[in-house]
């Protein structure tokens, strides 16, 4: 057996904690959430007084669902600080991105599986006439049901590029 040198990790990767605090940002003149911003517990604590005073950016407590026996908390209804919030204000594409980023391993139902496949561009039914299917199950879809065609791919490429440095 050979001894191996320890792998050198970046300082930012030496300690990771699960996502806990999320700010939701509404579209201008709307009650539809446009962005979800992940903040550290320290940042959430510093911003708490401002969030209570200005209810346009609610703070949510979130826990990734890593086990099917846990209740899903991706609707951001566990605990909210700030203005009135309804889970229907968050587009499904943002919920899917949040679950992918945070490592939520369990889907809510079979419909959630279909939505995830559509978002990622994975084949979920029989192929359409003339549809190109790659060996890994990805498809060349003319139109995706949520978000931009490059959203998931460019996000995952960016994250993997950072991991390799």
Instruction: Give the pLDDT mean for 51-56.
Output: 86
Per-residue pLDDT of 135-164, as tens digits, reads: 877 887 544 444 444 444 555 555 455 555
Coil, helix or strand at residue 73: coil
Residues in the chain: 165
- The burial class, CB within 10 Å (0-12 / 13-18 / 19+), for 21 is buried
| % of the chain with per-residue pLDDT over 90 | 30
Domain extent listing, the chain? 16-91, 109-165
Is the pLDDT confidence value at 36 over 70?
Answer: yes
Query: What pLDDT sits at residue 45?
Result: 94
Determine how many CB atoms are found less than 10 A away from the CB of residue 59.
22
Q: With 60 as the cut, is the pLDDT of residue 88 above it?
A: yes
Mean pLDDT over residues 112-141, rounded? Answer: 83
Half-sphere exposure of 75 (CA within 13 A, CB side): 11
Q: How far is CA 68 from CA 63, 65, 106, 109, in A?
A: 13, 7, 6, 11
Q: Of 63, 97, 76, which Cα lies nearest the Cα of 24?
A: 76
Percent of residues, the chain, with pLDDT higher than 70: 75
Q: How, if at all, do strands 21-26 and 33-39 pair? A: antiparallel
pLDDT in tens, 2-33: 555 555 555 555 566 788 999 999 998 888 99
């Amino acid at each position: 057996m050979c001894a191996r040198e320890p792998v050198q990790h970046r300082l930012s990767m030496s300690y990771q904690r699960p996502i806990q605090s999320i700010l939701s940002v509404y579209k201008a003149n709307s009650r539809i959430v446009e962005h979800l911003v992940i903040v550290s517990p320290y940042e959430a604590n510093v911003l708490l007084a401002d969030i209570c005073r200005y209810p346009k950016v609610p703070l949510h407590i979130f826990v990734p669902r890593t086990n099917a026996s846990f209740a899903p908390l991706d609707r951001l209804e566990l605990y909210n600080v700030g203005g009135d919030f309804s889970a229907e204000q968050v587009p499904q594409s943002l919920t899917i991105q949040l679950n992918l980023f945070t490592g939520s391993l369990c889907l809510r139902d079979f419909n959630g599986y279909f939505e995830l496949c559509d978002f990622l561009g994975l084949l979920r039914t029989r192929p359409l006439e003339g549809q190109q299917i790659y060996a890994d199950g990805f498809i060349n879809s003319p139109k995706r049901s949520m978000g931009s065609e490059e959203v998931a791919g460019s996000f995952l490429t960016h994250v993997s590029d950072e991991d390799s440095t």
